[in-house]
C-alpha cells in the first residue's frame, strides 16, 4: 500500500513539475520577445542619435569651411554687388554683341 501511495505522490509531483516547466517555458518565451522588442527600440534610438550626430558634424564642417573661406566668399559677394551697381548706373544690362555680316 505504501508503494502505491508513493507512486501516486510521484505521479502528482511529476505532473506538477511538468506544469511548472511549461509555465516557465512560456515565461521565457514572453521574456525573450520583450527583450528583442526593447533591443529593436534601443537600436532605433541609436540610429536617430547617430543621424543627429552626423548632421551636427556636417553642420560643424560647413561652418568651418565657410569661416576658413570668408575672404573668398566676401570677395565674390562684393563683386556681385559692384557688378549689380555698375549695371544699374549704366542704365542697360550686359547683352551679347551684335553680329555684323
CA-derived radius of gyration, the chain:
40
State the average pLDDT over residues 71-87.
Answer: 89
Q: Where are the domains of the chain?
A: 2-90
Query: Dihedral through CA 43, CA 48, CA 50, CA 55, nearest 10?
Result: 170
pLDDT at 1: 63
Q: What whole-number distance in Å separates Cα of residue 78 and Cα of residue 72?
A: 10
Q: State the pTM of this model.
A: 0.51
What are 28-63's pLDDT values in tens digits?
Answer: 999 999 999 999 999 999 999 999 999 999 999 999
Residues 11-20: b if buried by 16+ CB within 10 A, e if exposed: eeeeeeeeee
State the average pLDDT over residues 54-77.
Answer: 91
Q: What is the pLDDT of the chain when averaged over all its residues?
A: 88
Amino acid at each position: 500500500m505504501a508503494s502505491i501511495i508513493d507512486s501516486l505522490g510521484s505521479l502528482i509531483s511529476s505532473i506538477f513539475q511538468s506544469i511548472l516547466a511549461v509555465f516557465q517555458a512560456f515565461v521565457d518565451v514572453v521574456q525573450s520577445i520583450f527583450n528583442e522588442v526593447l533591443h529593436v527600440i534601443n537600436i532605433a534610438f541609436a540610429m536617430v542619435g547617430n543621424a543627429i550626430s552626423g548632421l551636427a558634424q556636417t553642420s560643424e564642417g560647413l561652418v568651418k569651411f565657410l569661416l576658413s573661406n570668408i575672404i573668398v566668399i566676401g570677395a565674390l559677394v562684393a563683386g556681385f554687388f559692384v557688378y549689380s551697381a555698375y549695371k544699374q548706373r549704366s542704365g542697360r544690362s550686359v547683352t551679347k554683341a551684335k553680329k555684323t555680316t
